[in-house]
Amino acid sequence: MNNIQLTFFLALGAFGVLLFHIGYYPPVLVSVMVFVLVSYLLIVQYQKHFVGPLILLLFLCYALPFIHIIPYLWFDYSSEPLILWGLAVNSYMTDKTIIELMSMIGAVGACGFAVGAIAAAKRFHLPEAALSASVNLPPMRTLSMPTFFVWIAMGVIASWLFAPAQTVFTEVYTESVSISQNWNFSSLWMFSYAFLTFALADAIIECDRSLARLKRKIFFFAMLLVVVWFQLLRGDRESLPLILAAILMFYVWGAPITSFINKKTKVVSISKIKIALLVLLVFLVSLFTGALRYSLVGADLAGTVSIARDLFAPGQIGFENILAGTWSAVLLTPLGIAGDHLNNSLSLQYGQTYWDFIASLMPGFVADFIGYQRPIDGFHGPAWEVTYGMGGNHAVVVPFMNFRMFGVFAIIASWTYLFAKLERLFSADLTPSRLAFLGIVAMGTPHWLWYGEKNIINSLIIWFLLSLIYRASISIHSRKTVTTAKTLLLKTVLRTGI
C-alpha cells in the first residue's frame, strides 16, 4: 500500500513541476484538494504508527499559513477589500494568477512532504510487553542534582537576558528592550530553551523515582517562570512551542521510560481529548497575548479584565481573526515569490542562498568582533528580497528562489525523509541527548518553517554543542542510577520493530 501511495504522490509532484514549467497553474480548488489528501494520508499513517508526532507537527506548521487559500474558492477577484488574512490588502492578494501559483507552490511542497514521509515510513513499536522484565543491569549515568540545577539555571538566565526588560503593564511591547539587545546574539532564546530541553530529557531518563520526581518538579517551576514571567507577561510567545515539545517528550517519545520508572504496566499516555485541549489552550494564550500586549500599560487588575472582556465584543475575535495569526504574515513570502516570478523580478539563485546559510553560521557577536558581515542576519536574507515580505520566510521560499518548483518538491521531500528517519531512530533507543534532539526540533519547528532554514541549522548546532557539554557534565559530575533489564528489553523490542 505504501508503494502505491509513494508512486501516486511522486507522480503528482512531478506532474506539478511539469505544469509549472509549461506555465499552467491549476485552480485553487486543486491545491486545496492536494492539502486535504496529504493531511488525510499523514493522519492515517500516524494512526497506523508509520509516522511519528514530529512529522505531524512539521506538516501542521508547513500547511497552516496556506489555510488562507480556502476562502479564495469563493473569492470575488473584482472586489476591492481592505483586509485579507487579517492584513492590509496588497495588489498580489487579489491577483487570480498569483494566488493560483502561490497555492500550487504550497501543494507541490505538500506532495514532497508526503513522498518523504512515505519513503521513510516504517512501523513504530511501543509494546507494553516490554515493561515486564526485572533483571539487574550495569548502572547508567544521569546528572547529579547540583549539575542539574546548573542546567536549569542556565536556561532561566538566558531567558532573562533575552526577555524584554519591562512587562506589558509598564511598557509598550515594541518599546521594551532586553538586556542583550545590543549583543547581536539572536539565538540566545534558543540556547535558553535548549538548556531546559536537555534538563527535561535528563529528568525523564532518570531512573531513581524520587529523584526523577524532584527533577521534574524543578523543571516545571522553571518552565512556569520562563513562560509566564519572562515571556507572556512581557508580550512574547516564543516559549509556547516549548510547552508542546515538553508534552511530546514526556507523553509520547519518553512514555515507555516514564512508565518503567513509575512501575506501571501500561505506557504512560495522555488522551487525545486532553492533547486537543492543551493545544487549544496554548493557541488561545497565544491569541490573547498578541491581542493584549499593546494595550495593558498602566492597567490594574480591573482594567485588565475590562480590556480582555472587550475582546469578545462583536467583530473583535471572530472566525476570520482566529484564522489569522503569525502564519498569516508568513504567507506573504510565498505570495511574494509567486508574484515576483510572474513579474520576472525574482532571480534564480542556483543554490547561492544555501552557501550563504553556511557563511552565516558564525554567531553575530563573533562576526561583529572580527568585523565580518554575514550574508544572512536579522536584516539581510531571502525574506528581505521578496516583495511584501515582513521578515518571515516560509519553507517553500528558499527552494523556489534557488531551484523553482523542482526545488520545492525535492528539498521538502528530502528534509521530511531525514526527520522521519531520525525520529524513528532516536525514539527507539532513547538517551537524554536523543530525546533532547526531538524536543529541540519540535520546539524550533515554527521558527524554522515560518522564519527560515537558518533557525533549524542553529537548532542542530546548539543541540550538538549542548550534547558535548552534557556528556562532559556526565563524565565530570554525575550519579549512577540503578536500572533493570526492562530498559534493555524495551530498547531491544523498539529496535527490532524498526
Q: What is the tens place of the pLDDT at every residue in 48-105?
A: 888 889 999 999 999 999 999 999 999 999 988 888 888 889 999 999 999 999 999 9
Number of neighbouring beta carbons within 10 Å of residue 21: 11
pLDDT value at residue 6:
92
Q: Are 89 and 77 in contact (CB under 8 A)?
A: no
Task: Using pLDDT thresholds of 50, 70 and 90, give the confidence band for residue 303.
Answer: low
pLDDT value at residue 177:
76
pLDDT value at residue 186:
81
- Assess if residue 210 is contained within a domain: yes
201 with 296, same domain: the answer is yes
44 with 160, same domain: the answer is no
- Domain containing 160 equals 140-314+430-481
Task: Return the C-alpha cell found at 244.
Answer: 508542546
CA distance 219 to 400: 41
- Assess if residue 364 is contained within a domain: no
* CA–CA distances in Å: residue 201 to residues 57, 151, 437: 19, 11, 9
Looking up cell 496588497, which residue turns up?
A: 90
230 with 305, same domain: the answer is yes
- Assess if residue 497 is contained within a domain: no
Q: Are 10 and 18 in contact (CB under 8 A)?
A: no
Q: List, for residues 385-423, the tens digit of each pLDDT value.
A: 888 876 678 999 999 999 999 999 999 999 999 999 999
CA distance 15 to 21: 10
Q: Are 247 and 275 in contact (CB under 8 A)?
A: yes
160 with 266, same domain: the answer is yes
- Assess if residue 362 is contained within a domain: no
Task: Return the C-alpha cell found at 465.
Answer: 554543542
Task: Using pLDDT thresholds of 50, 70 and 90, give the confidence band for residue 477.
Answer: low
188 with 65, same domain: the answer is no
Q: Are 259 and 268 in contact (CB under 8 A)?
A: yes
pTM (predicted TM-score): 0.86
- Assess if residue 424 is contained within a domain: no
Structural domain count, the chain: 2
412 with 434, same domain: the answer is no
265 with 296, same domain: the answer is yes
Q: Is the pLDDT of residue 219 over 80?
A: yes
161 with 30, same domain: the answer is no
225 with 335, same domain: the answer is no
- Assess if residue 188 is contained within a domain: yes
164 with 291, same domain: the answer is yes
Query: Among 226-230, 284-288, 391-395, 430-434, which is the least confidently predicted range?
Result: 284-288
pLDDT value at residue 40:
94
Question: What is the greatest pairwise CA distance in the chain?
Answer: 74
Classify each residue of 167-200 as buried b or exposed e, where b means 16 or more C-beta atoms within 10 Å of its C-beta.
Answer: bbeebebeebebebeeebbbbbbbbbbbbbbbbb
- Cα-trace Rg, the chain: 24
167 with 272, same domain: the answer is yes
172 with 277, same domain: the answer is yes
- Assess if residue 351 is contained within a domain: no
Q: Left if phi > 0, otherwise alpha if psi is -120 to 50, otherwise beta: which for 235?
A: left
Q: Is the dihedral of CA 129, 131, 132, 134 positive or negative?
A: positive
Q: Are 481 and 211 in contact (CB under 8 A)?
A: yes
pLDDT value at residue 320:
53
Closest by CA to 433, choosing from 162, 441, 266, is 441
- Assess if residue 366 is contained within a domain: no
Closest by CA to 207, choosing from 492, 490, 497, is 490
Q: Residue 402 half-sphere exposure, CB side, CA atoms within 13 Å?
A: 19
